[in-house]
């Protein structure tokens, strides 16, 4: 099936989450990595920094699958013709290739029993640097999607939803790169000395010291929180109110992420009450 026919048959009979073919296919591929990784988790007794060595590949497989299906679903708000455009098809292939390289190294590092992030061997450091570049490359796809959705003036897209989509996708890029970049430069995700054995379920965040992954998590999920807010606001209110409210929510959300980040940098746990 050519891309053009894919796009035209799509609206009628495809689930709305499978709109962008490359992202949808990558999402399915990452989901299919989960069962063998679970089998490895079941068979393996090795630990890495106090948690099962397969926890991390599993988290990244789940996270990348969610990212891919989100990008695929949001692609329905692209302007007409973009999905089939040659530049888009080529660009999306590089994004998916970066994600595949990323998950291959993270899964492979677990199999080898070594660190994928913060690896200190010469080869490991080189791969870690390359991974950082690839991570920024594929995360930047949220900016491209935001730019294209902002360009789309189709009347059937609610203005508050569009505001949420564009701001959410932009914030996801800015906050992810800022928080992950800081984490990368600080040599680990914990601020303070602690064991990770009893982290907050299911994320494994520290209950006793600062954990930079909390801010990374909320920052990256701006692409879900802001569009969800815009969608609800657009349903409930007139654009005169819903659009400014979506902007206000974006600001509040960014402030919340910054506060959670400052909390971790200060060495305080996210939810000490549950400790």
- In the bound state with other proteins, the residue whose beta carbon lies nearer, of 52 and 267, is 52
Q: How far apart are CA 238 and CA 172, in angstroms?
A: 26
Q: Toward other proteins, which CB reaches closer, 43 or 273? A: 43
The sign one gets for the Cα dihedral 184, 189, 191, 195 is negative
Q: Helix or strand or coil: residue 211?
A: strand
Is 35 a binder of other proteins (CB under 8 A)? yes
Distance CA 177, CA 24 (A): 24
* Binding of residue 36 to other proteins (CB under 8 A): yes
How far, CA to CA in Å, does 149 sit from each of 133, 143, 152?
Answer: 25, 10, 5
Residues 38-57 contacting other proteins, CB under 8 A? 38-44, 46, 54
38/266 with CB nearer other proteins: 38
Q: How far is the CB of 196 from other proteins (least distance, A)?
A: 21
1-30 binders of other proteins (CB under 8 A): none
Assess contact for 20 and 142: CB atoms under 8 A. no
Q: Where does 140-275 have alpha helices with state H? A: 141-151, 159-185, 213-220, 222-236, 239-265
- Interface size with other proteins, residues (CB under 8 A): 17
What x/- string results for residues 91 through 110 when contact with other proteins is judged by CB under 8 A?
Answer: ----------------x--x
The footprint of other proteins on residues 128-167 (CB under 8 A) is none
Strand partners of residue 190: 211
211-270 positions binding other proteins, by CB under 8 A: none
Q: Of the candidates 47, 93, 111, 259, which one interacts with other proteins according to CB under 8 A?
A: 111
Binding footprint of other proteins on the chain (CB under 8 A): 35-44, 46, 54, 107, 110-113
């Amino acid at each position: 099936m050519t891309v053009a026919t894919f796009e035209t048959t799509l609206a009628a009979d495809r689930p709305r989450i499978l709109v962008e073919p490359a992202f949808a296919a990558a999402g399915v591929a990452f989901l299919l990595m989960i069962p063998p990784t679970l089998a490895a988790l079941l068979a393996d007794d090795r630990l890495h920094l106090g948690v099962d060595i397969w926890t991390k590949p599993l988290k990244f497989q789940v996270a990348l699958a969610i990212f891919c299906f989100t990008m695929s679903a949001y692609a329905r708000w692209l302007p007409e013709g973009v999905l089939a455009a040659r530049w888009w098809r080529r660009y999306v292939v590089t994004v998916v290739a970066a994600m595949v390289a990323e998950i291959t190294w993270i899964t492979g590092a677990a199999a080898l029993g070594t660190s994928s992030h913060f690896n200190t061997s010469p080869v490991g450091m080189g791969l870690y640097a390359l991974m950082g570049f690839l991570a920024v490359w594929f995360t930047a796809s949220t900016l491209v999607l935001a730019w294209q959705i902002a360009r789309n003036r189709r009347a059937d897209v609610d203005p508050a939803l569009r505001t949420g989509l564009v701001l959410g996708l932009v914030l996801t890029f800015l906050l992810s790169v800022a928080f992950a970049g800081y984490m990368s430069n600080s040599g680990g995700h914990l601020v303070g000395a602690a064991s990770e054995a009893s982290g907050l379920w299911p994320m494994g965040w520290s209950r006793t010291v600062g954990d930079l992954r909390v801010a990374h998590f909320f920052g990256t999920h701006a692409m879900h929180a802001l569009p969800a807010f815009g969608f609800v606001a657009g349903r409930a209110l007139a654009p005169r109110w819903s659009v400014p409210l979506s902007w206000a929510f974006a600001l509040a959300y960014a402030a919340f992420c910054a506060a959670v980040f400052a909390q971790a940098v200060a060495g305080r746990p996210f939810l000490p009450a549950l400790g």
